[in-house]
Amino acid sequence: MDGRRLSRWLLSGCLVAGAMGCNRNSVQSPMSPAGQSVPGVATISPSKPFWGNSTPTPAAPVETTIEMTKKNAPPKPETLVALADVQLAAAFEEKTAPSSREGLLDMARQGYQKALQIDPKNKQALLALANFYTKIGDKERALETYKKYMTLNPKDAEVAHKVAMASASWKDWVGAVGWCDKALQLDPENMTYRKTKAFCLARGGLWEESFKILCQIMPEAQARYDIACVMAHQNQMDACRQQLMLSMKADPSYAPAQEFLAGLDQPPGPPAADPNNTIQRAGYTQQP
């Protein structure tokens, strides 16, 4: 085959292949010098890889994912309790109007209850709700909530004593003594728990039992003085005077009894808080 015949054969083969669209090795369309497609010539795009787009889509930053998770996550019970505590404190501020106080109390209660819906066994939420009911004077709900807490945490002596203090604020002396006994079962040597029990026994009229406990943790003169203070609070002045005299007999140099006895002979006036009263230092504050 001469050169001219070979050229015609190659040319006809290429034209046939072009007419059939067979152009496997072409990866780029003919471009003009200016980078534009040549008119009249079809543009051929590069073939896509079998597994899809060769350029991977960038993943969302880890920080962004965490932030979205935090925004969509429900609030923690501790956060709800902290917010409700602020609302409860604001409700009892003197400058708060009565109408605003009711709304704040409702929001605080709902906050504590929502925290317990998320975590029914949450210690902080249970105690906060019990304290809420105690503050508003709802004895039944307060005791119910405290009992629920103690059922879940039976070895918490401090909370058992807290229930005793709440019962004392309601003048439930029998209940207060019972909760003191519960606290003392868990911590028998605790001085505060024993003083609180002695005070509640005295307020309930059980003077001898109260005196016996006080004598176990303090000198007799001081114990009789403390009993005298409770009697004076209950306006039993003759019995108060007798205990003061017995206090001075036990220790003639005990100054608080001397001063108190001397004050009984003075014109009556509003009683002042006694800083030496160990039962008062036990943490109980008489409610109006």
Evaluate whether 146 touches 163 at the Cβ level (below 8 Å).
yes
Amino acid at 190: N
Structural domain of residue 111, as residue ranges?
73-154
The two tokens of residue 159 are 């909370």
In a domain, 253, yes or no: yes
**In total, how many domains does the chain have?**
2
CATH code for the domain of 260:
1.25.40.10
Q: Pick the closest to residue 168 from 207, 139, 129 (CA basis).
A: 139
Q: Which of 137, 154, 171 is the C-terminal boundary of a domain? A: 154
Summarize the chain as % helix, strand, coil (round to 5).
65, 0, 35
Residues 284 and 183 placed together within one structural domain of the fold: yes
Domain assignment present for residue 89? The answer is: yes
Classified as helix, coil or strand, 271 is coil
Reading the block at residue 233, the tokens are: 């609070």
Q: Quote the tokens at residue 94.
A: 């003197």
Same domain assignment for residues 162 and 135: no
Predicted pLDDT of residue 251 = 97
- pTM, entire model: 0.67
Per-residue pLDDT of the chain (288 residues; tens, 9 = 90+): 444 554 454 444 444 444 444 444 444 444 444 444 444 444 444 444 434 454 454 454 544 444 444 567 789 999 999 999 999 999 999 999 998 999 999 999 999 999 999 999 999 999 999 999 999 999 999 999 999 999 999 999 999 999 999 999 999 999 999 999 999 999 999 999 999 999 999 999 999 999 999 999 999 999 999 999 999 999 999 999 999 999 999 999 999 999 999 998 776 655 555 555 555 544 444 444
